[in-house]
Amino acid sequence: MNTFLLILLATVVLVAICFVAIGLQVFFCKKKKFPETEIGRNAEMRKRNIKCSKCEELERCALSGCKNGCNEV
């Protein structure tokens, strides 16, 4: 039982140190920019020609000439 508690305590301390290190990195590294998560504004998604579903539906509606606000798909 004593070995189990020692391993558990070491694991909890190691995980706590990792969380503190990640928190410090996020707090002090202002140069890093969080990646854009919206598909329409993400540069990598645009490079791969991936669009949001709303934009694809509007394009499909414009090509088919539907008049009901894209209710006819």
DSSP secondary-structure letter at 31?
S
- Tens digits of per-residue pLDDT, 47-64? 888 888 888 788 778 776
Contacts of 50 (CB under 8 A, 6+ apart): 39
Domains of the chain, by residue range, sit at: 1-32, 34-67
40: pLDDT strictly greater than 80: no
Which pLDDT value is given to residue 9?
A: 97
Q: DSSP 3-state assignment of 9?
A: helix
pTM: 0.43
